[in-house]
Structure 1
Amino acid sequence: MDLEHVLERDWRSYRQQQVQRLANPSPPVPLPPDVAEFIEPFEDDPGAPFDRWPGLAPALEPADDADPDDVARRVLARLAAESPDSVSDCHLALVSAAHSADVPAAIGWQAEAPLPLLCALLRSWEARFGALLFAILGSTAYVSVACPPHTQEQALHIALEHVLTTADNVIKDPPTPYPEYAESLIDNALWSFWWD
């Protein structure tokens, strides 16, 4: 797969929808009467701040303690400590694959994820950010990141690739506004994606 070409094509479609939505904003949806007064309506998502396809986010320099395998172990321990219910029913699987990016295809993962694109992105993220797919639980993929973005500019660029995965937790239910989603990636060694 020519990842750059596919993502640029998908970005053009995304950008066209973004421009239409910004040109014709939907009226604000009033909150139900039983919602507390201090709750504010969900803010409109301005979308990605790019007028042109910015290309793939550049690789980031690893820190001294950024061994991808060590980071994956730490992130798994963090996930188990913070969300024990999310990993309580998981099972260890040995999969014959050269890269963790190849695991979803090797096991025939059944989710609404665009599998060829996801595997290509995971492989590219491994090379650029030391990212390793370390768990698949149901329709959720968990990725450890040895070199996460450290600045808002880096995070805004990487967040666009997350949006183009079409993961429901990134673009639906309701989506976190793009700038806030990007900010959540800064120095975060755990990325997760799920599809209905």
Structure 2
Amino acid sequence: MTSETPAPALRDLFPETAERHPPVAPLPPGRLVLPEEEDTERPAFWLSDGPAPAGLWAALRAEHGRTGLWPLLLDALDDDDEDYRPWGNGEVLPGDMSDPGAHAPAELLARWWSEHTAPAEDDALPEAERAAVTSPYGRSWPGAAGPRRLVVDPDRTADDLAAHLLAGHPTMRLGLVAADRGADALSTAGWTGPMNHFADTALLSSVLRDWEERYGARVVGVGFDTLVLSVAAPPTTHADALPVAAEHFALCPDNVWQGESPHTLFAYAQRLVGDHSWTFWWD
């Protein structure tokens, strides 16, 4: 469900008590999107009618402190999707999301690690092979990786990734979400990409808040069940990358289980070394 939206109507994205200013950067034609399955008059986000103009993501990101609107580059379920799911048809559930601040990211990651490394009842994989997937840790949670020193500007890194994503996939649309930080934009918009693993996207936002601080991460691109982050402080050695890879596995085991072969944490960690963008996919 959608409504035609002149720029001043962006105020409808915020609570009535919020004082925000509209973007200075000119927006392309777009509309406010209401959650399809919720009885509410408050839109979840603003969506451009067509592809995001080059450079606009960075301009809107730079204005975020003044506008309170975090930009997202949004992708659809497939290129021929007339409804541009889940964005165009409002296939989101903001009313189902909790407060990201109510969760402890370290506890979430440890719990998920335990769940993903435990043998399933119908698991035909021998215990030794299952342990090899998460070697050198096996089923033992290594703990969250330590914070890394920023050597590049996180916001500039995010701008560069946005330009790269749009150059490679120019049909991506622009979204605007009323959120204090990029990590919260996903739960505020009601995105349900990780639903097969956890239904409350605020859990993801909680972890992403922590990654913003420790790795200089920023939320840039979002698809039906995919997420792309920019990373200003990636690990620089394989040894440093291993505990980071463990965090990725805890949050999104499909990155390892169904990613590039070989399907091991050890191999996945090597791909994180020096990588300024992290991509996640929940099956």
TM-score band, normalised by shorter chain: 0.7 to 0.9
The aligned length equals 172
Identity of aligned residues (%): 32
Aligned to 2:234: 148
Aligned to 1:95: 177
Cα distance, 1:48–1:125 mapped onto 2, change above 3 Å: farther
Unpaired segments ≥5 residues, structure 1: 27-43
Separation of aligned partners in 2, 1:55 and 1:24: 22
Deviation at 1:180, TM superposition (A): 1.3
Cα distance, 1:157–1:25 mapped onto 2, change above 3 Å: closer
Contact 2:248-2:255 within 8 A present in 1 as well: no
What amino acid does structure 1 have at the position aligned with 2:265? Y
Is 1:6 paired with 2:92?
A: no
TM-score of the aligned structures, taking structure 1 as reference length: 0.77
1:51-107, Cα deviation, whole Å (9 max, x unpaired): 5322211000111xx1111001112223334xx2xx332211221111100011111
Query: Structure 1 residues 9-18 or 108-117, which shifts more?
Result: 9-18
Separation of aligned partners in 1, 2:235 and 2:159: 19
Structure with a larger share of its residues in helix: 1
Alignment of 1:115-126 (within 5 A): 115-126=201-212
What amino acid does structure 2 have at the position aligned with 1:9? R
RMSD: 2.5
Cα distance, 1:172–1:181 mapped onto 2, change above 3 Å: same
Contact 2:116-2:253 within 8 A present in 1 as well: no
Deviation at 1:132, TM superposition (A): 0.3
Contact 2:109-2:251 within 8 A present in 1 as well: no
Aligned to 2:147: 59
The structure with the largest alpha-carbon Rg is 2
1:111-149, Cα deviation, whole Å (9 max, x unpaired): 234323211111110010000001112221110000000
TM-score of the aligned structures, taking structure 2 as reference length: 0.55
Unpaired segments ≥5 residues, structure 2: 1-102
